[in-house]
Amino acid sequence: MNEYLKKVQSIVWKDIIIELRMKEMLNTMLIFSILVILISSFAFGTFNQEMTQSIAPGVLWIAFTFAGMLGLGRSFISEKDRGCLQGMMLAPTDWSAIYIGKTIANLIFMSIMEILTLIVFVVLFNFGQIITSPLKFVLITIVGTFGFVSVGTLLSAVSVNTKTREMLLPVLLFPVIVPIIIGAVEATLSIITANGQFWGWVRILVAYDIIFFTVSALSFNYVIEG
């Protein structure tokens, strides 16, 4: 088990080093998510406190998922370059290690993007004032992002094999993550209004995370084998 974790760790480390040297994915994701927030605030016009409260969760999660989609789309393109994926597959370990490593790396990138986006969001939408419990918000963000990334990493590996490459990823991913978007937005709303079923949504999202992480890890072998 320890050996396995070491392999997972080295894949995560590899992705982080690539990102530190290229500074490609994170920058694009971050600028894009800030743009989404900016454009939404133009599109919905100026609004009062009450409207901000009802719109904020939606805008925030659209920014997170759209920017996350950009990052996930790139995730396996670099592995296809000059047979990198084949190289990793030759390593003496179960291929699910590649999946878990990539998932963790994507999770790290998305979390950094989310933290930086939140700073902008707090300034533009006065988010720090309207939220009642920051701890609950951190929890729902972690749970929601994990579900998004675990399905997203698998489907990213699927979509790089298509003729249109990453163009197909949003079409494949968005309908499947409907529960995540609904759950995360509703839970965030319930934190703002301080009523609603926050824990109920957390339970659904945790169930989603467990189910999809397991299924993805199990079926990842079939995806890269072909």
Partner 1 sequence: MEKEKALGILSLIAISTLIVISFLIKSPFFQQNGDIYRMLFFHVPLAWIAYLAFFIVMISSIFYLKKEDRKYDNYAAASAEIGVIFAALTLITGSIWARAEWGVWWRWDPRLTTTLVTWIIYVAYLTLRGSLSEERKARLSAVYGIIAFISVPISYLSITISLHPQPITGGGGISSTIANGLIVGVIAYTILYTYILRIRKNTFESHDEVQMIEKNRRRTNTE
Nearest to 157 by CA among 79, 91, 101: 79
Which of 81, 90, 129, 225 forms a contact with partner 1 (CB under 8 A)? Answer: 225
Distance CA 207, CA 210 (A): 5
Name the residue with tokens 């179960």. 94
Taking the least distance from each CB to partner 1, the nearer of 101 and 152 is: 152
Taking the least distance from each CB to partner 1, the nearer of 25 and 154 is: 154
Distance CA 150, CA 163 (A): 23
Distance CA 220, CA 226 (A): 11
Question: Is 47 a binder of partner 1 (CB under 8 A)?
Answer: no
Distance CA 8, CA 49 (A): 46
Which of 83, 128, 134, 200 forms a contact with partner 1 (CB under 8 A)? Answer: 200
Taking the least distance from each CB to partner 1, the nearer of 44 and 222 is: 222
Q: How many residues bind partner 1 (CB under 8 A)?
A: 34
Question: Is 58 a binder of partner 1 (CB under 8 A)?
Answer: no
Taking the least distance from each CB to partner 1, the nearer of 25 and 217 is: 217
Which of 27, 86, 133, 162 forms a contact with partner 1 (CB under 8 A)? Answer: 162
Least separation in angstroms between residue 88's CB and partner 1 is: 18
Which of 14, 16, 179, 202 forms a contact with partner 1 (CB under 8 A)? Answer: 179
Residue pair 180/213 in contact (Cβ under 8 Å)? The answer is no
CA trace torsion 107, 108, 114, 117 (10° rounding): -140
- Number of residues in the chain: 226
- Structure tokens given for 116: 């930086």
Site residues for partner 1 per CB under 8 A: 151, 154-155, 158, 161-164, 168, 171-172, 175-179, 182-183, 186, 197, 200-201, 204, 207-208, 211-212, 215-216, 219, 222-223, 225-226
